[in-house]
Amino acid sequence: MSENLPAKSNAVTNDPWSTLRSATSARIALGRAGGSLPTHEWLDFKSAHAAARDAVHVEFDAEHLAGQISELGVQTIVVGSAAGDRAEFLQRPDRGRRLAPASQQLLEGFVAPPERFDLAIVVSDGLSALAVQTQAAPLLASLLPLLRADRWRVAPTVVARFGRVALEDQVGALLGAQLALMLLGERPGLGSPDSLGAYLVYDPKLGNTDAQRNCVSNIRPEGLPIPAAAETIRYLLNESRQRQLSGVQLKDQRVLQ
Binding annotation? 165, 186, 215
Secondary element (H or E) of residue 131: helix 129-149
Binding annotation for adenosylcob(III)alamin? 165, 186, 215
| 68 backbone dihedrals φ, ψ, rounded to 5° | -65, -40
Task: Give the chain's end-to-end CA distance (angstroms, integer).
Answer: 62
Per-residue DSSP letter, 124: E
Neighbour-count burial of 105, counting CB atoms closer than 10 A to its CB (0-12 exposed, 13-18 middle, 19+ buried): exposed
* Whether the Cβ atoms of residue 188 and residue 195 lie closer than 8 Å to each other: yes
Task: Please name the amino acid found at residue 179.
Answer: L
Secondary element (H or E) of residue 197: strand 196-202
User: Distance between CA atoms of 38 and 213, rounded to whole angstroms?
Assistant: 42
